[in-house]
Chain A
Amino acid sequence: GNSVTQMEGPVTLSEEAFLTINCTYTATGYPSLFWYVQYPGEGLQLLLKATKADDKGSNKGFEATYRKETTSFHLEKGSVQVSDSAVYFCALSDREYGNKLVFGAGTILRVKS
């Protein structure tokens, strides 16, 4: 079945550091890929998405590129802020499976000032 693996955390960075959170997936079809973020005390929010190979999703300075050859969708940001501290979830969906989301375990990001 479909699955998502993302790097374990917590990841602790200083403000303005470069961020990479690795995410790889296994899928039988042609999934769409997502990054969701959960800020403290809040629900899940869609951060960015990519629906086909080589697409790049971007939002709030975060980027991720859909790499079919390496089955990856790594999240990057050039300069993190304290306000980026949150839990980040990589996920995929496949319309042949009703678009239900398959999530990775989540990565806690802590940014220190």
Chain B
Amino acid sequence: EAGVTQFPSHSVIEKGQTVTLRCDPISGHDNLYWYRRVMGKEIKFLLHFVKESKQDESGMPNNRFLAERTGGTYSTLKVQPAELEDSGVYFCASSQGRIGVSGSYEQYFGPGTRLTVT
């Protein structure tokens, strides 16, 4: 079974440019999460999809960030325009479990995308 994949692994862009990160979750996982780690600080939640719907986007820092999940499969996270403080590692994770139901909801993480804004 393929794991969570992310593309690109590393992106270097200039301030003001646009970058789109992609995440392909494990097949059959309804839940998809985005997190980021900025400057060696703690990993912070950005948002959560259940299938194609945004369940929780309380962690999105501002309206320069736009996330989509087409048809409940892969997800993209677009940053437009990028700022210096957006530099960091963006992680995607997916899980199988249903919200509010106990059981297996372990989140499986991708390798991350390292974003550098200069």
Q: Which chain A residues have a beta carbon within 8 Å of chain B's beta carbons?
A: 4, 36, 42-46, 49, 51, 89, 91, 93, 95-106
Contact = CB atoms under 8 A, between A and B. Distances in A.
Interface stretch (B41-49, B63-71, B74-82): B41-49
Contact of A44 (B42, B45, B99, B109): B109
B43 A103 contact: yes
Given A49-B106, A98-B56, A99-B105, A43 B42 contact: no
Contact of B33 (A42, A100, A106): A100
Contact of A43 (B56, B95, B112): B112
A102 B111 contact: no
A93 B95 CA distance: 13
B99 A98 contact: yes
Contact of A89 (B4, B43, B100): B43
Given A98-B48, A100-B33, A100-B48, A43 B111 contact: yes
5 contacts: A44-B112, A95-B99, A99-B31, A100-B45, A105-B41
A42 B37 CA distance: 14
Interface string B22-58: 0000000001010101001111110010000001100
Contacts of B40: 106
A25 B98 CA distance: 24
A105 B42 contact: yes
Nearest to A4: B42
Contact of B107 (A4, A42, A51, A99): A99
Contacts of A43: 4, 91, 109-112
